[in-house]
Each structure stands twice: as structure tokens, then as C-alpha cells.
Structure 1
Amino acid sequence: MHLSQSTRSVSALLTRWRIFASLSSLPLPLTNSSPAAAPACAETVWIVPLLQHSWYDHVRLKRVFVADGTRHQVVLVDVRKLLMCADRDNTDYVLKPVAEWHGGKVRGIREFLDPENPRVPQMPYVTISTRRAPGVLGWLGLEREGVVAFRNGQHRARYLADAGARWFPVEVHEREAALLREICGAPDDARTAIRPVSLNTAGGV
């Protein structure tokens, strides 16, 4: 049976309408779905002032462990107390004073810590324990002293101390955080001088 011209026209229009309806049901692309439109990721850094350093007057430090659920804490420490405890470490990994380092090592640490670098250095990572203090009270078990060992960052810690840093943050396992605060913790005014700030990937604070 032959269809009339008007019937064929109606059929063609109906087919076009079905195609248009199917296309209009497809999801539209999001206008802000490109990676360039995504906001810059931010990380937290600590700004540590240097009081005796001619090259730059501060450094930036970030956490070692940043994943959610990490069992480590950041503790703001008194540099003098921390290094006093570190000098008691008997594992043969106690560094000499910065003045006795090789010139290349000093330059390397200085360039590594330079705040103009796009890469932010990690803060020192330490562990702390106690042992009997020397003398009669220690022998009787009535007095103990702290012993700090560096898992990472001993060079930067000693360089910062030599550059005039009074306090800086370190990272420690949560089970040792209270002991570290008790023995090496910085005073309250240090928390005013050194605060964590947000740093985006573009380098702005």
C-alpha cells in the first residue's frame, strides 16, 4: 500500500521529534568540570623565625604525616631543650656543631631550607624516651632525664638552632607526645610567634 505525500511528511516529522527528544535527555557537560577550574589544594605550614641568619629570616616547615587518621602529632618544642636531650642519644648519630660541618653540607642545608623554594621541607621527626639521670637520685630511681632520637631532620634541626630559631615544630608519635611536651615543650608565647598557616599550591600564604 502506497502512503500519501502528507502521511510521509507527518511520519518524517515524528521521526525527527523522537531523535531530538533522545538527544535532549543526554547529560550536559558541567561548565566547571575542567581540572583548571578546580580550587588549588592547600597544605598547612609553620613559619619559624630565624634571629641570627643573614640569608633569610624565616623558614617554612610542613608535617611528615598528613594522611587522615595518622597517629602522629605536631609538638612545638624549645630548641635548646630538644638538642640537650638529643645530645644524650647513644646510638652514634649525634651530629657535631654546625661550625664543624663541611662547607658543602652547610650550603646544601641552607638552600634546602630556603623559603623561596617551591618545595616546603618537612619538620624534624623525633622519638623520645627517658632513662635514669646521673647521680644518686638517678641511681635510686628518683630522677630521670629525656633522650631524643631523630628519625629524620637532625641536620635541619641543628642548622635552625645555629641560625637563631628558639622554637620550632617537630612530629612525634601520639604515644610520646605528652612526654615530649613535658620535657622539651615550648612556652605559651611560642604558640603566638609560630602558628600554622594555610599554603596553597601556587605558593601563597
Structure 2
Amino acid sequence: MPTSASIRAVSLAPSTGRGPVWLVPIPAHPYYDHVRLRRIFEDDQSRHRVVVVDACKLLECAARDDTDYVLPPVGDWHSGKVKGIRDFLDPDNERIPAMPYVTIETRRVRGLLGLLGLKREGVVAFRNGQHRARYLAHAGAAAFPVEVHEREAALLASLCGYVELSAADDARG
């Protein structure tokens, strides 16, 4: 379980002129100790928000997605896929990868409490960045930022997150 200190470790770096950059620590990773991520929707009018999510909670909600595109754990990927995503996320690269982009909804939990409408669970679907999210969790990131539409940000924060950063917060980076 991530500690509040490990969640706060996800931080905004000084602006690069192309918008804010988030630094995600992965201290036990043998190749590098952090990853840089940027927003997909850099326009403040995009109606998308950044939410720093607990990596385990996000992947738990993503495992409930009943579409046919839920990736297996990183340990089951072929070595070329692992090397490719590791190289893509390398902070020494000039190009800064975009943070994962997700949607979230709730559904009734299976069983009596769900049938009575008393219990619901979160279901996350990736629009982009599922490989990144899974690799970050595998590499030891306790938390990382994702982008979500503003109407889903509060739900995502309540089920998987810790801190929602507003557009105004984004601009301060």
C-alpha cells in the first residue's frame, strides 16, 4: 500500500515550455529512478483533469473492464515488449510520453448487495496508456498521474486517487 509520502513524491517539474511535466518516482527500478509524463490535453479548455492515482487501485478497477483489451501482467509480456516500453519511458529521451488517459464508471457488484443497488464498484477503461500504466506499477511506482474527463475526475479520485489537480494547478508547473 502506498504511503502518503510516496503519493506526494509524484510532482510537477519546472515547465519545459510545452506545458507541465510530472515526475513519477520508481526508486527500485534498475534502469532509471523516475519517469516523466506530460498531459495529453494541454489546452486548459479541454475539460480534462489530472488525477494522481494509486497504481494498485487503478489496475484493480481496470481488471474489471469486460472488454477484450485488458493486458496481462508485465511478467507475461515478451521481452521485446518490455524493452520497448522501458525505452519509451526512459527519462533520458528527448520526447516526454503522455500520461495514461482513462475513463471510469461504476457498476453493481455481483451478489445480493449489488442486486439491491447497495454496493457498486469502479470500472476503469484505458483510452490510451495501458502499457505505460502497467509498466509503471510493475516498476514500483506507487502512484502516477492520469488524465480523465472533468465529469469523471471526482469519481476516479474517490475510487483510485489521492489528489485531483485542477487546470489552475496544472498551469503553475
Cα contact 2:25–2:33 (8 A) shared by 1: yes
**Aligned match of 2:95:** 119
- The residue number in structure 2 matching 1:105 is 81
Residue identity opposite 1:140 in structure 2 = L
Larger radius of gyration: 1
* TM-align CA RMSD: 2.0
Aligned to 1:88: 64
| CA displacement, residues 98-142 of structure 1 (integer Å, 9 cap, x when unaligned) | 011011000000000000001000000000000001221111110
Q: Which runs of 5+ in 2 are unaligned?
A: 1-15
Task: Give the Cα separation in 1 of the matches to 2:28 and 2:68.
Answer: 29
Q: Who is 1:73 aligned against? A: 49
CA distance in 2, matches of 1:117, 1:167: 22
Distance across 1 between alignment mates of 2:100 and 2:18: 21
Note the alpha carbon deviations across 1:142-177, whole angstroms, 9 max, x for none.
000000000000001000000000000000000100
**Structure 1 length as normaliser, TM-score?**
0.71
Structure 1 residue runs of 5 or longer lacking an equivalent are 1-39, 199-205
Name the SS of the counterpart of 2:124 in structure 1: strand
Measured in 1, the distance between the counterparts of 2:128 and 2:96 equals 15
Give the 4+ runs in structure 1 shifted more than 3 A: 195-198
2:126 maps to which residue? Answer: 150
**Sequence identity (%):** 65
Q: In proportion to residue count, which structure has more strand?
A: 2
Task: Report whether the alignment pairs 1:63 with 2:32.
Answer: no
Q: CA deviation at 1:42?
A: 4.4
Distance 2:17 2:140 in 1: 32
By how many angstroms is 1:52 displaced? 2.6
